[in-house]
Amino acid sequence: MQAGPVPRGARLSIVTADPLTLEVPRVFTRWTQNTPAGTYVEATCGADGSLLRLPILAVDQVGEGTRIDVYYPNSVGSEPFGTCADSGTSEFKVHPYGGAPMTVEVETVPAHPGIFTVGDAPDGDHLDDFGGVTTPIVSCNERLPAEPAVCPVRVFGEPAVLRITLTGSDVLACDPCPTGSIVFELARVTEGVPGPFVQQILGSLVRDGSGIERAKIYMYTDMLPGVYQLRVRNLLRPEFPPVLRVEFGLPVG
């Protein structure tokens, strides 16, 4: 198992090199702390090194190994499985049925936002606030440029809005949002070359369940249609994150 810095209050994936005994792909609509095959995951969550058994969302096969999706709590909002209020180093232990636990130490931080994805697109929607039309961003990317009227960059002067699904940004929640520690940026791609990243307007960032946040981002009125790269930067940890693809159609009106 390998990991970089991970945030509290986030949904995380743990991937093992070898398959876990008796595990088969499944999704738990009611999160569980023990799979039917007997697997469970623990993490140190307190300064005293105490272990918390993490809720498991799903199990899947990845290559030759097993992926376990877990929720890593924090101390913000309702945390029915317990809280993890520490930062620094946390120890994650995967306990397979009938085998020795696998352990990895990772750095934890208060926030380190990650965008859920659908292919190379962010998981979320293009919103036409003027006409009330909602289109999945992945659909915008698939239909443009063949259908230039979809996902307009603005409608009668009103700029497009993106609603993006995130994890790991609980402590940055705001509604409305000042210019603060989380930044959404777009760079227009021309002939395959991205231009400079420009910060967009964050309207709100709200919690929508354990480990899920939704951001509403307003575009500027002078934006051009075309292909863009999107990234979210956390100014608490300003390393450059991966970029995702977003396409906008022709303006209307």
The pLDDT, as a whole number, for residue 107 is 80
The pLDDT, as a whole number, for residue 1 is 41
Is the pLDDT assigned to residue 2 strictly greater than 70?
no
Distances (CA, A) of 79 to 30, 83, 108: 15, 6, 18
Q: How many CB atoms lie within 10 A of CB 202?
A: 22
Comparing 135-149, 165-179, 217-231, the range with the smallest average pLDDT is 165-179
State percent of the chain over pLDDT 90: 57
Is the pLDDT assigned to residue 70 strictly greater than 70?
yes
Strands 88-95 and 114-115: unpaired
The pLDDT, as a whole number, for residue 178 is 78
C-beta of residue 72 within 8 angstroms of C-beta of residue 10: yes
Is the pLDDT assigned to residue 234 strictly greater than 80?
no
Is the pLDDT assigned to residue 3 strictly greater than 60?
no
Is the pLDDT assigned to residue 238 strictly greater than 80?
no
Is the pLDDT assigned to residue 216 strictly greater than 50?
yes
Comparing 17-26, 33-42, 74-83, the range with the smallest average pLDDT is 74-83
Q: What is the mean pLDDT of the chain?
A: 88
Q: How confident is the model at residue 131 (pLDDT cuts 50, 70, 90)?
A: low
pLDDT in tens, 22-59: 999 999 999 999 999 999 999 988 667 789 999 999 99
Which residue has tokens 């105490």?
50
Is the whole-model pTM more than 0.85? no
Comparing 17-21, 82-86, 191-195, the range with the smallest average pLDDT is 82-86
DSSP 181: S
Torsion (CA) 54, 204, 241, 75 in degrees, nearest 10: -30
Q: Which residue has the higher pLDDT, 64 or 171?
A: 64
Strand order through the sheet with 10-15:
10-15, 65-72, 56-62, 26-32
Rg of the chain over all Cα atoms, to the nearest angstrom: 20
Is the pLDDT assigned to residue 235 strictly greater than 80?
no
Span 140-159, average pLDDT: 95
Query: Tokens at residue 166, please?
Result: 């995130």
Span 56-69, average pLDDT: 94
Q: How confident is the model at residue 209 (pLDDT cuts 50, 70, 90)?
A: confident
Is the pLDDT assigned to residue 4 strictly greater than 90?
no
Is the pLDDT assigned to residue 94 strictly greater than 50?
yes
Gap between the Cα atoms of 204 and 90, Å rounded = 30
Alpha-helix runs per DSSP H in the chain: 137-143
Q: Which residue has the higher pLDDT, 209 or 200?
A: 200
Strands 133-136 and 56-62: unpaired
